[in-house]
Amino acid sequence: MDAIINQTLIASLIIGFILDSIIGDPLWLPHPIRLFGNIISKAEKKLNKNKHRKIKGAIVAVSLISLTWLILFLIFKYIEAYKIPLIIATSIGVFYGIANHSLIKEAWRVEKAMQNESIETARIKLSYIVGRETKQLNKQQIRTAILETLAENLSDGIIAPLLYFAIGGVPLMLAYKMINTLDSMIGYKNERYKQFGWFAAKTDDIFNFIPARITALIMVFITLSYRGILFIFKYANNHSSPNAGYPEAALSGILNLQFGGSNYYHGKMVQKPFIGNNNRSVTHIDIIKACLINAATSIIMLSAIIIIYHYAAVLV
């Protein structure tokens, strides 16, 4: 029975990954992350006021994460004995759980806008995928933001969901996506979210601790970048996040360029330490290389999980 389940998971993982590679996340297609976002938004507006904001925020986060896992666990437990429904449901879950197509597509849209349209259009499109203010960014800053986003979101958009799928299937994978969505919506350290979102932010830090480091190691492994390894040790902690600095440092070393520096967030100037020491111009080729690294890293992670499942099935 376990061997059959493992074979089903392998088939579903491949199907879901291919679906994401082809379709991505079109706006016309309903997506659970949008549902997660709507629920979080309503809870935040209702509860993020008056006293005990820390406790209320923690209760919201724990409740939503737990319910996401529990509902999906019960659904998949019920269909576990039915091979075709299990494959279909798991494939759809994997498709919804990863976002490599969308990440690369959105990054590439910004680069194409800068090349073929105008810097103003590129700034607008960049604002859809980054937290910093984009109205005053020059070409160098726009391309740097693209690369930082590609590196950071490679971890929490692809590698982390795949890791949690390998550990606990679709229920844990989408519970992780709820954690990530909570952090992206209320995990800020500003006046509005500092108390209400503290638990969500800490939970996201914990769940991304291992994936961020796996991501960085795969990136330097596939590129055979010795400098990338050195940069991980030297610069990975030069980031406000305990995790985002790892894939960013890896990409900085691979491409031999500099990330970090000053940017505006919510109207305030934030000075981030630099990652890397070569303040050269970021080029169109760098964007292409980063997109290829993202795709290759995702495929390596996918392949590793498939191999583990395969040998587990053989041993059983």
pLDDT tens string, the chain, 316 residues long: the values are 466 667 888 999 999 999 999 998 887 888 999 999 999 999 999 999 989 999 999 999 999 999 999 999 999 999 988 889 999 999 999 999 999 899 999 999 999 998 888 899 999 999 998 888 888 899 999 999 999 999 999 999 999 999 999 999 999 999 999 999 999 999 988 889 999 999 999 999 999 999 999 999 999 999 999 999 999 999 999 888 899 999 999 999 999 999 988 777 767 777 788 999 999 999 999 999 999 999 999 999 999 999 988 777 655 5
Q: What is the pTM of this model?
A: 0.93
What are the extents of the domains in the chain? 2-315
How far apart CA 127 and CA 295 sit, in angstroms, is 23
